[in-house]
A and B are shown apart, each in its own frame.
Chain A
C-alpha cells in the first residue's frame, strides 16, 4: 500500500480529498441549514449543460461547467424571488434543461467523449495539477468568506427577514453564496461526478448534526467526515477500479450509520443511568 504514495496521481488524489472536504464541508453546511439542498441538486445536474458546451467548444469542460453553473445559480436566485413561477418548479426545469443541453452538445461533438464517465460519476485518481490549483483557490475563497461574513451568513440563514431589518445585505450575500455553491459543485465534479456531488454536501453534514447543534462545530465535523470518506473512497476506487463518486458516497453513508448507531447507544446508556440513579436515590 505504501508504494502508492510514490505515484503522483495518488498524491494529487489525497490533496483533492482535502480540498473537496474543505469546500463541501463548509458550503454543505450552508446548503443544509439554509434548506437549499434541492436548489443545489438542480445546479449540480444542470452543470452537465456546461460540461457539454465545453466539450463542443473544445475547451476544458470544467471551465464550461463553471460559467454555466454560476449563471444558472444566479438566475435561480433572482427568479425565485420575483417570478410568478414556483421555486421548486423552476429548479426542476433548470435541472432537466441543463442535462438536455449537455447531452445535445456531447452528441454533436465529433468523436467519442472518452472521459464523460468520469465527469458523471467522478474519478479522483485522474485529478490534475491544474484541477488542484482551482480547488485550492476555491478553498481559500470559501474559508475567507466564512471567516469574515460568518455572523451575517448565520443570521441570514436563520431568519432572513430579521437580518434584513438589521441592515445585513442579505441579497448581496445570498448571491455571493449561491455562486460559491455553484463553484463548489463544479470544482468537485472531478472527484464525485455531477450526479453524486450533492452527497458530499449533505451526508457529512447530517452526520455532523447528530453530534452538534452548533453551526461552527458542524462545519468542522463535516470537513472531517468528508475527508475520511474521500480517503477511504479513494482506496476502494483504486483497488476495485470503480468510479470514486460511488465509493466515496458508500463510505460517507457508512460513517453516518456508525455515528447514528453510536449516538443511539450513547443515549440509551445515558437514559438507563439516569433511571438507575433515580431508583437508588
Chain B
C-alpha cells in the first residue's frame, strides 16, 4: 500500500453483531484516497454488517472507526452510497430529480428547502450520467440501467471522497455493466471506491485490491487472486473463472448532453 496517500477511513479491531450474535470480529481496514477496493464474501459473511458500520448505521460492539474528511467544510461530501437495487419500491411516486436531491440532505439539513444551487448540482450530475432528460420522470418508469445511473447520481451529487457500492451488478444487463465499470474507472481517478460483491469474477478486473470477508477481513493488495489464496483466507467464494482472469477492453466514457437546471 502506498503510504503517501491520504488515509480516509480507518477501522480498528471492530467487532459487530446483533442480539449477542457476533457477525464481524477483529476487523482492521484502511481506505486511502484513490483506492479501489473490492470486498467479497458469501451470503451471511458479514458484508452488509461491515457496510453498515462504515456508513454509521450500526454501532460496533468493540473497536473504533475513524474517518478523515474535511469536516469543517460542509460542501465536501464524505461517503457516497449506492445501496442494493432490489430493496426499493418501484411504485413509489418520486421523480428522478427528487431521488438525486436526497443525496444532498445531509448538507442542506432538516427543515430547510433545497436551493437553486442544489438543483443545479443535480442537473450537472444527471447530465454527466447522460440521463438529464429523465429529470422529471417517476423512478419506477425507468429501465434497470437508467435506474442504476440515477442511484449513482444520488451517491455522487454531494461530491463524496469515498463511493461505496453494494452489489451493483444485481439487475443490470451486460451492456450497461460495461458502461457502468467505465464510469467507475473514471471516477476512481478522483475518489476512492469500495465495491462489495458476492462474485469475484465480475469485479476482479476492475479493482486494485481485494478484501475477503468471512467474519473477519483478509486484505489482499492486488486484484490477482486464486483459489488457493482464497482458501488460505478462509473465504468460501467460488471463482467463476479459473486461470487467468478475463481482461476487459474498456471503452472511453463519453459525457452526456449538457443539461440546464
- With a cutoff of 8 Å between Cβ atoms, the chain A residues found around residue B146 in the complex are none
Contact assessment for A161 and B57 in the assembled complex, using a CB-CB cutoff below 8 Å:
yes
Name the residue of chain B whose CB is nearest to the CB of A155. B102
Contact assessment for B111 and A148 in the assembled complex, using a CB-CB cutoff below 8 Å:
yes
Asked if B120 is at the interface (CB within 8 A of a chain A CB), the reply is no
Asked if A35 is at the interface (CB within 8 A of a chain B CB), the reply is yes
Asked if B261 is at the interface (CB within 8 A of a chain A CB), the reply is no
Contact assessment for A151 and B93 in the assembled complex, using a CB-CB cutoff below 8 Å:
no
Name the residue of chain B whose CB is nearest to the CB of A169. B110
Residues in A52-97 with C-beta less than 8 Å from chain B: none
Most buried by B among A154, A157, A169, A209: A154
Residues in A213-258 with C-beta less than 8 Å from chain B: 213-215, 218
Contact assessment for B110 and A35 in the assembled complex, using a CB-CB cutoff below 8 Å:
no
Asked if B106 is at the interface (CB within 8 A of a chain A CB), the reply is yes
Contact assessment for B93 and A218 in the assembled complex, using a CB-CB cutoff below 8 Å:
yes
B113 interface neighbour in A151, A162, A213, A214, Cβ under 8 Å: A151
Q: Say how far A12's CB is from chain B's closest CB, in angstroms.
A: 34
- With a cutoff of 8 Å between Cβ atoms, the chain A residues found around residue B108 in the complex are 151
Residues in B26-79 with C-beta less than 8 Å from chain A: 55-57, 79
Contact assessment for B57 and A158 in the assembled complex, using a CB-CB cutoff below 8 Å:
no
Contact assessment for B88 and A158 in the assembled complex, using a CB-CB cutoff below 8 Å:
yes
- With a cutoff of 8 Å between Cβ atoms, the chain A residues found around residue B87 in the complex are 159, 161
Interface size on B, residues (CB 8 A): 29
Q: Say how far B224's CB is from chain A's closest CB, in angstroms.
A: 33
Contact assessment for B94 and A168 in the assembled complex, using a CB-CB cutoff below 8 Å:
no
B93 interface neighbour in A163, A166, A168, A209, Cβ under 8 Å: A209
A-B contact count (CB 8 A): 72
B81 interface neighbour in A149, A165, A168, Cβ under 8 Å: A165
Interface residues on A, range: 20 to 34
Most buried by B among A35, A151, A209: A151
Contact assessment for B103 and A215 in the assembled complex, using a CB-CB cutoff below 8 Å:
no
A212 interface neighbour in B93, B103, B111, B113, Cβ under 8 Å: B93
- With a cutoff of 8 Å between Cβ atoms, the chain B residues found around residue A165 in the complex are 55-57, 79, 81, 106
Asked if B200 is at the interface (CB within 8 A of a chain A CB), the reply is no
| In the bound complex, CA of A166 to CA of B83 (Å) | 13
Contact assessment for A167 and B94 in the assembled complex, using a CB-CB cutoff below 8 Å:
no
Contact assessment for A158 and B99 in the assembled complex, using a CB-CB cutoff below 8 Å:
yes
Asked if B244 is at the interface (CB within 8 A of a chain A CB), the reply is no
Asked if A33 is at the interface (CB within 8 A of a chain B CB), the reply is yes
- With contacts A158-B94, A169-B110, A213-B141 taken as known, whether A151 is within 8 angstroms of B101 at the C-beta atoms is yes
A151 interface neighbour in B55, B88, B92, B105, Cβ under 8 Å: B105
Residues in B135-191 with C-beta less than 8 Å from chain A: 138, 140-141, 154
Residues in A132-163 with C-beta less than 8 Å from chain B: 148-149, 151-152, 154-155, 157-159, 161-163
Contact assessment for B138 and A213 in the assembled complex, using a CB-CB cutoff below 8 Å:
yes
Name the residue of chain A whose CB is nearest to the CB of B114. A151
Question: Closest 8 CB pairs between A and B?
Answer: A213-B138, A166-B105, A155-B102, A167-B106, A166-B106, A213-B93, A215-B93, A165-B55
The 18 listed contacts between A and B (C-beta, < 8 Å) are A33-B93, A148-B111, A151-B108, A152-B105, A152-B110, A154-B98, A158-B88, A158-B89, A158-B99, A158-B102, A159-B83, A159-B88, A161-B57, A162-B83, A163-B102, A164-B57, A165-B57, A167-B106
16 extra interface residue pairs, beta carbon distance < 8 Å, beyond A158-B88, A215-B98: A148-B111, A149-B111, A151-B102, A152-B105, A154-B98, A158-B99, A159-B102, A163-B102, A164-B57, A165-B79, A166-B103, A212-B93, A213-B93, A213-B95, A213-B141, A214-B93
